[in-house]
Every structure is written in C-alpha cells, then in structure tokens.
Amino acid sequence: MAELNISKEDFLKFREFFYRKTGIQFDDSKRYFVDRRLIERVEATDSGCFRNYFMMLRFEASGDEIQTLTNLMTVNETYFFREEYQFQCLINSILPELVQHKKDKSPIRIWSMPSSSGEEPYSIAMYLLEYWACINQWDVEIISSDIDTKILNQARRGSYSQRSVGNLPKSLLTKYFTPSGSEYQICEDLRQAVEFTRVNLMNAADVRGYRGFDVIFCRNLLIYFDDLSRRQAADTFYDALHPGGFLCLGHSESMSRISSLYKARKFPDSVVYQKPTEAS
C-alpha cells in the first residue's frame, strides 16, 4: 500500500475548513502535527486518500467524524493556572470594571464549568487570594459544575498529580498544598472556597436556576459540542449572566461564530465576551 501524504493544497484546504468550523487556526509550523492526525483518521476510516476523507468529513450528516478529529486536534488536559492570561484578565480588567458598576455590596459570583477535577475553580480562588488587591473588600462566590459526578467527587477531594501542579509557582505550591505520597493535597481553605454542583448544560431544567453570575468561565468545552448545542449553551450563559457580566472561553473558541448577542471585549490580557449592560 502506498504511503499516505497530505499535499500542501490539501493542508490549506483542510486548514480553511477546520478554522471555519471550529475557530481553531493552524499556522504552517503545525503542519506536521496536522498531517499526522489527518493521516491517522484517513487510515482509521478506510478512506484511502485525503480527498475521500475530506469529502466524508465535510458532508457526513451526523458530524461524528469532525468531532473525532476535533478531539484529536485539541489537547485535552487540565492543570493549575492553565491559560493563566485569562486569570490575569480577570483581576486586571474584568473585576475592576465589575466592581465599578456594582450597585450594592452583594457577592461577586463566578461560575466555572466544566469543573473537571477542579484545577480551574481552585486556580481562580488562588488567583483572587494572591493577586486581587480588592479581595478584602468584596465577597466572592465560586461555583463549579460538571456533568460527571465521579469527576466532581475527585474535585471535592482536591488531590493532584505532579503534572497537574507543575505550572504553579513554588511559593503557591508550598502555601496551598501538602505533599501526600506522589500526590499534592489542596488545603482545606481552598476546598471550602468552591461549591461543586452537578449540571448538564444541555438540560434546561438543570440550568434554569443558575442566574445572577458576574463571570462565567467555560473554556475548551464548546469545541466538543455540535453547532446546535453551542447555540443552546450560549443562550444558557446569556440567561445566567447579569447584564454586563463576562464570559471567558478557551483560546481556540470564539463566541462570534456562535451568537451575536455578546459583545467581544479586547482587554490587554485576553479577549472575553460580555452580555450587554442594557440587556434584560
């Protein structure tokens, strides 16, 4: 059998299509990475060549293959301080703007979803305690949700591998974690700072009560949804946010492709999406 090759034309055609579908952009330096994965899927689907595979990918009614490929093209891992620039954006831009417009001293509410094993909500908690000067003037609630009850229990336990905490500054690792065998146990104060709840984002009954949030983190989840589910998620977040509230997506995700209701805000650290202040 002849060795499969992805030509430059194939790569460009695929890159254009994949960007339009997912918002994920591959520059030329990622050519090898993309080619390897495309070849893997051409073989796995018995397509024989790129052209057959691309036609199947593009026109398959179920959209299963584009999902499989998206999973393969994205790095599905979580760790503390992942995409830290968004936490910097939170304290440098989002929170100052929110508190400036807040009419009362009610708590600032942050929803982080999916919680996965808890790295993101605990990172937010740590970031606020360490780097937000106004933490002593405001109450902050952090709620974190996931559809998977097993992963929620793991998040509540707060025990992490070396790889999970590898990105943390040593001082924070020492301050907030205790080594326990090969794991690191997060401290009780942080465990008590986050409420974990089970939510299926696609279930209207589950999400109906989630309202009045000032900031929502939903990073690297929507890329795994089909187009309709993305729209439903965008609608859910819209209803969950206060007018003027902010939505933070993953680096490869863009709300502009999903919904026109949010205003893209370009802050020095990151682009985030805001529910219009005049919205109901």
Partner 1 sequence: MALVKKTTSEVVDHEERKRKRDCGSLAHQLCDPDPATRRWAARDLADCPEASSVLVKQLRREMDASVREIILTTLTQRGDEEAVAGLIECLRSEDASLRNEALEAMKLLPAEVAPIMGGLLSDPDPDVRIFAVNVLESLRHGKVEEWLKEVIESDPHVNVCATAVDLLGEVGTPFSREALENLKARFPDQPYIRFAADIALKRILAN
Rule CB under 8 A: is residue 241 a binding residue for partner 1? no
Strand runs labelled E in the chain: 108-112, 140-146, 159-160, 177-180, 183-186, 194-198, 213-218, 241-249, 263-266, 271-274
* Least Cβ distance, residue 115 to partner 1 (angstroms): 13
Which of 84, 23, 92 lies closest to 246 in space, CA to CA?
92
What part of residues 172-231 is at the interface with partner 1 (CB under 8 A)? 192-195, 197, 204, 208-212, 227-228, 231
Residue 4 neighbours by CB distance under 10 Å:
16
Q: Which of 232, 248, 253, 273 touches partner 1 (CB under 8 A)? A: 232
d(CA 91, CA 41): 42
Q: Is 133 in the site for partner 1 (CB under 8 A)?
A: no
Of 224 and 267, CB closest to partner 1: 224
177-180: strand order across its sheet:
159-160, 183-186, 177-180
Q: Which stretch binds partner 1 (CB under 8 A): 6-14, 92-100, 156-164, 167-175?
A: 6-14
47-86 positions binding partner 1, by CB under 8 A: 50-51, 55, 58-61, 63
Strand bridging mode 213-218 / 108-112: parallel
- Contact status, residue 140 vs residue 91, Cβ threshold 8 Å: no
Tell me: does residue 147 bind partner 1 (CB under 8 A). Answer: no
Is 127 a binding residue for partner 1 by CB under 8 A? The answer is no
Residues that bind partner 1 (CB under 8 A): 7, 9-10, 13, 16-17, 20-21, 50-51, 55, 58-61, 63, 107, 125, 128-129, 135-143, 192-195, 197, 204, 208-212, 227-228, 231-232, 235, 238-239, 259-261, 279-280
